[in-house]
Structures are given as C-alpha cells and as structure tokens.
Structure 1
C-alpha cells in the first residue's frame, strides 16, 4: 500500500492559561484507529484498483485518501499517471505507451483539479466576507460597475456563490482573439435565466475572481496561496504548469474545444487555459494528501495545526444549505455519505472530494478519467466510494 507521509498529530483546545492550542494535524493510522470498519475500507481500496484495470478502465489511474477525525485511514494509488500517447478516433481507443514509458500513479501525484478549484475560490471569498471587505448579499455591480450584464440585472455575490445568478454555464473565451476581447465578453454577459434560478455556471466563479481581485488588489493565485495553501502547509497545491502531474486529454476538435494534443501539467479546461491558467473555476493542481488537509481544516472549523483560515461561524456559513460554492448532500457523487450535511464537489477531469461533518469523515478520490479522451460523465464509482466510507462508519457504530 502506497501511503503518503503526513504530519504528526497535535492537540486542540485551550491551555490552562486560556490560550488557543493547535487543531489536530492529520496522521496515518489504521481504519480501527480512525473509527472505521476495516472490511469496508479494504473493499474501497480493492474497488479503486478495479477502476483502473482492463483495456477500457474508468480511469487510467486514481488516488484515494480517506479518514475520520485526524486519522488518515487509507492513502492508496492505483494505475497510471500516464498510460497513453494519444487517442485514435478511428479505433476509438487510446494509443498505449509501451510499459517502460508509462508513469505509475503515486499517492503524491498532482492532479488537475478542474472544478474543485471553485472550492478554493469560494473559501477565498468567504475569507473576505469574514474580514468585512466583501458583502455576501452585496451587488456585484457595486464592485464591478463596468460588468454591465451583471450590474444591470442586480446579481449579488451570494448568487455567484450559489449558482443562482442565471448566467449561462460558460462562454467560448477560448475562441477570442486576445485578453481584451475575453474581458469584453465577460463584462457584457447577461443572465439567460432570471437571477435567483439555479444554473450551474463557470462564469459565476470567473466574476467572483474579478470581484476578489478588485477589492484586494491581488491575483487569485496569490489570494489562494497566501490565505489557504501556505498557512495549511499545502505545498503541492498551486496553479500550473505542473510537469509531473497526471496526464489528462489528447485535446483535439471535434471532441474538445481546442487543438492542444496530449496534456500533462497544463490546465485541461479550455477557458482556464485561454485565461493564462489561473481562473476562478479551474486551474489548480493538487494531491490527495494536500486535499485531505483542506478537508480536515473544514471539518475542524477552519483550523489546522496552528493555522486558521476561517472562523467556525464562517465555515458554517460556507456549508449551510444550499452551500457557498460547495454542493451539499448530493448522492449522485457522495453515495450514502449524503443526507446529513455532507459537502463537496466534483471536477471534470475525474476529481472529487467530500467532507461529512456529521461523522467527521472525509473522502478524496482523484482520477484522470479524461485520459486519453473525455467521455460522458460517470460518477457511479465516486458514489460507490462514498457509500463504502459511510458504511465503514455505520459498521463501527453497529447501525
């Protein structure tokens, strides 16, 4: 079993003099030490390996990291970070690399997070809400008056965070001639549905990125680094390029929106690529162990070790239905973890994470499902993994 090193555990609470002690750090332990049933966790590991097996696997490779409380009960890698040289559209299959040229997946392999980036943008926004520099119900037009479409329809920051702005899912920014044309397109974009109606949209996080950069005077990459990843010690989490990352797609038209060839370490999302790799909706790369730290900080009320990225009340705001950036209780990718306030997200490249405050558990499942080519989404394996973790808790409780 390939396991990543994690920091030693610390203690949490108040010392006798009234000062705050550190929140517990993650440590590697057995399923039993984590309060999880070993048989269910062993089945989870076996099933993740099965996802990468065969001629047409669900993913070329995968990493699963799961635990409860401060204990990482499993950190396992399966399959290949790089398996294919390209995609053959005539044969409708990947062009296999010879075994000696393949790259094995490891627990510490970075992945293109795709839409998991939205979670970090959302936390960065709630940090500004906590500091009083951003109003959750403020009008976007108050910060970005030149964004005529959003300003003219009274779109609010909360609507961006809950995907209720009415903006369409995306724009073809990748077809624009230059940055000026891309910015003009974003500024003019109007809702396609009445604000208040739910339409999942990458544009929400792109507008939120512009709001954050306007009020802070710093780029989103700096905000996420200084406010989230550096204090949490997430040294493997950053925007690309990441040359050692798991490969994604042989990106070509007509199945893709750009002709870029086999991608590895360059952001997969075409709009994030057109925007230089740093975007509110996509562009971050990270590893399973780093995301486990992120999950643990959320479950611990915004603290990890000596660091605090949010106060408990603002973590609660982030995860209160319908969730600010986070999806709540979505059984289609959380399985039986859903139902009592579980929060998480998926990413188009094959990534996902779930935190379940009710059981103090987390599940990170990273896979390169678009290697060598994108295909219709199948989240059944994600849901199955969530169900294994949920049953691992229930088996220990005897329920």
Structure 2
C-alpha cells in the first residue's frame, strides 16, 4: 500500500493534502481477502428471507485511502405499510420495489450527533466556544441548564444528567418546544454518563446563538462542503431508503410510511434540523467523513479540524462519539475503535490504530421499529478486525 507521502498532493498553501479515497482490492488495503469474502457473503444474507434483519443495507470498509468493500443488498423500499394484526410488512409488488444501491441515501438518525460534535469542536478550535464553559454563559434564558451549571463538555460527553429525551413532538408550536428545553432540569447526577438527545439539542442552541447561523448552515459550510460530501444534508431527501410506517402505539406520531423525511419524531417536530437527528447521507460520503477524521482532520486539500482537535474528539471519553458504546463493534472494540449507531439502522466505526473504518447502513425500521439487534454490526466489525494485516 502506498505511503501517505507517496500519495499526497500539494494544496494551494504548499501544505501536503491528505490522499483521497480510491477503490481497490482488499490486498491493496492491507486486508485479508478470505475474511473480506466471508464478510461480503454474510452481509448479503442480512436482507434474505421473509423476516430479514433489514429490508436492505449498504456496507463500506476501508483502510488508509483504499475502499476495499462497497456492497449493497436488498431493498431501499420493500413495503407499502405494516399490518399490525399479521405483525408483518405489506410487501409492494416486485415492480414497485426500489433496489438498494451503494449510492442510496439513508436517514442517519443519531449519526447526526457526530456532525454536531464536529461543528462544536470547530468553534472550540476558533476560540468562540469554551469546552468547559457553562451553557448558561451562552444561553442564560435556558434557566434550568444555567442553574445547574451544565458545561459544554458535559453536553458532548453525555454527562449533563439530562434525561434521554422529551416529548417535543406533542408540543403545540416551536415556542412551547423551546420552553420545554429551557425549563428541563437534569434528573441524573452530573458527571455520570446518561446518553441523551437533549445534550445535542442544547448544543445546537449554543452553536446557533454564538454563530448567528443555523445548524444546517454550520454543517454545510464547515464540514460537508469543504469535504465534497455532496450527498449529505438535512432533509427532505426524496431518494432515501424508506424507514417506518410510523403509527401509534409503537411510534410517537401517526405519519404513515416514511421516505425522505426524518424518522425521529422530535427532529420532525423541530422542522427536520436538529442536533441529534435529521441528516441524510450515503455510505461514500460517510467514508469521506471517516477518512478526514482518521487523517487528523484533512481530506484532499480541505481541512475541517486540526489534528489536536480531532484527537480531542476521538480520545476517551471522546466528544460526541459516546465511546462507552462499543457493543456493536465486535472485535474492533478491543483495538480502541470509536463509533456510533443510529436508530434507523445506521452505524460507523473508526479504528485509528489500524487506520480502518467500517460503515454499515441499513433500514432496519422498515416497515416498523423492532428491538435493536446489533449482532450483524458486531459480526462485520469482527471480520474487519480479523482481516487487518499488520
């Protein structure tokens, strides 16, 4: 595999730019082809049968600048609705289904949190946001957070004590939703870990207040545009993989079969742009994102963060990456990998020790949500860990 120096190009500033991704063989990526072959076989089985793990899925595996695996299986749209009496999806006729491709966009769900975290660290790097500053210094009208002394670091590490979520989708309007956030008092012990969407919603408010720009603009201008992630953005995204026939009692709103609009009920209530959910993207775009973080914040001629601030993101306890959530990584978890999952069936893993990344995107909530099953994700992570050649 070529060294970084051999494959770098020179940017306009004279600084070497990080090599762009290219597709090549597992051997060229330093991955064992036998393990990769088994990975691909097992991956295609995930969408097989009458009750598959997911209606469809996409997997991308890369090491260094090489994408060694890029595969799609199953259907982006398979069901017209969900039949609660039969406890099964109502299948579309074959000619009406939409096949999954490697370019299919997905509702990223909580992978959105990673982009919000990067946007926050960009402000920390610029000196406009203090990592240990109190949220109340930026949002004095958010009375409960201010009174409790919640800090930016606590939001980014899920140690604020805030509960996992609030029923913002039941509020009458945006002002009522904001008032609910302003008055929400932590219920946990500050400093202890409790994964919470509210942390990223408050962080969104902080970022928008200090920059005067909305989160979608911050993500576009600071991350996706410089990296060339042209398929990534907040919805609507009409060509995305379908998610859920969203109805009560199993969901929190009655919206019918969803495709191209955000699945998360709170993000939907907030207009589709939220710190915890709302982004759509493809596996290839996420590969660029992963590669930029693995190279210390650069991709091609673009740099979104300095290496020290990428290290801040990825080093335990991490910022936004919820580093104690490793159950879905398989044997990659033992190498110090970091990553995140999304409720709709999305996940990514970065392994800085071996310069490896794994992206598995699936519409596991199509036609309706089920108890989470991360065994297929863990199996992919284990295959990749065993495939890495030193």
In the TM superposition, residue 258 of structure 1 has moved relative to its aligned partner by: 0.1
Which residue, 12, 29, 32 being the options, matches 2:8? 12
Q: Distance in 2 between matches of 1:287 and 1:223?
A: 19
After superposition, what is the alpha-carbon deviation per residue over 1:366-391, rounded to whole angstroms, capped at 9, x for unaligned? Answer: 00000000010001110110001000
Aligned length: 386
Q: Distance in 2 between matches of 1:85 and 1:62?
A: 18
Check the 8 A contact 2:106/2:281 in 1, yes or no: yes
Shift of the 60–10 alpha-carbon distance from structure 1 to 2, 3 Å rule, reads: farther
What's the counterpart of residue 387 of structure 2? 392
Check the 8 A contact 2:325/2:340 in 1, yes or no: no
What's the counterpart of residue 215 of structure 2? 220
Shift of the 192–347 alpha-carbon distance from structure 1 to 2, 3 Å rule, reads: same
Q: Distance in 1 between matches of 2:176 and 2:365?
A: 29
In the TM superposition, residue 363 of structure 1 has moved relative to its aligned partner by: 0.2
Q: Distance in 1 between matches of 2:321 and 2:23?
A: 27
Moved over 4 A (4+): none
2:326 is the alignment partner of 1:319: no
Residue 87 of structure 1 aligns to a residue whose secondary structure is strand
After superposition, what is the alpha-carbon deviation per residue over 1:340-375, rounded to whole angstroms, capped at 9, x for unaligned? Answer: 321110000000000000000000000000000001
Check the 8 A contact 2:83/2:90 in 1, yes or no: yes
> Which residues in structure 2 correspond to 1:341-360 (within 5 Å)?
341-360=336-355
2:367 is the alignment partner of 1:364: no
What's the counterpart of residue 6 of structure 1? none
Which residue, 43, 60, 63 being the options, matches 1:48? 43
2:167 is the alignment partner of 1:172: yes
In the TM superposition, residue 42 of structure 1 has moved relative to its aligned partner by: 1.1
> Which residues in structure 2 correspond to 1:233-244 (within 5 Å)?
233-244=228-239
Check the 8 A contact 1:10/1:22 in 2, yes or no: no
In the TM superposition, residue 331 of structure 1 has moved relative to its aligned partner by: 3.7
Check the 8 A contact 1:327/1:345 in 2, yes or no: yes
2:247 is the alignment partner of 1:246: no
Tell me the C-alpha RMSD between the 2 structures: 1.5
Q: Distance in 1 between matches of 2:13 and 2:363?
A: 47
After superposition, what is the alpha-carbon deviation per residue over 1:17-70, rounded to whole angstroms, capped at 9, x for unaligned? Answer: 993121110000000000001111111111111110000000000000001000
Check the 8 A contact 1:301/1:311 in 2, yes or no: yes
Q: Distance in 1 between matches of 2:252 and 2:59?
A: 30
Q: Distance in 2 between matches of 1:112 and 1:58?
A: 17
What's the counterpart of residue 120 of structure 1? 115
Check the 8 A contact 1:251/1:261 in 2, yes or no: yes
What's the counterpart of residue 270 of structure 1? 265
TM-score, normalisation: structure 1: 0.95
Q: Distance in 1 between matches of 2:127 and 2:112?
A: 23
In the TM superposition, residue 327 of structure 1 has moved relative to its aligned partner by: 2.8
What's the counterpart of residue 85 of structure 1? 80
In the TM superposition, residue 195 of structure 1 has moved relative to its aligned partner by: 1.3
Residue 349 of structure 2 aligns to a residue whose secondary structure is strand
After superposition, what is the alpha-carbon deviation per residue over 1:117-157, rounded to whole angstroms, capped at 9, x for unaligned? Answer: 00000000000000000000000000000001100000000
Which residue, 180, 186, 210 being the options, matches 2:181? 186
Which residue, 20, 32, 35 being the options, matches 2:27? 32
Structure 1 portions without partners, runs of 5+: 1-8
2:200 is the alignment partner of 1:205: yes
Residue 33 of structure 1 aligns to a residue whose secondary structure is coil
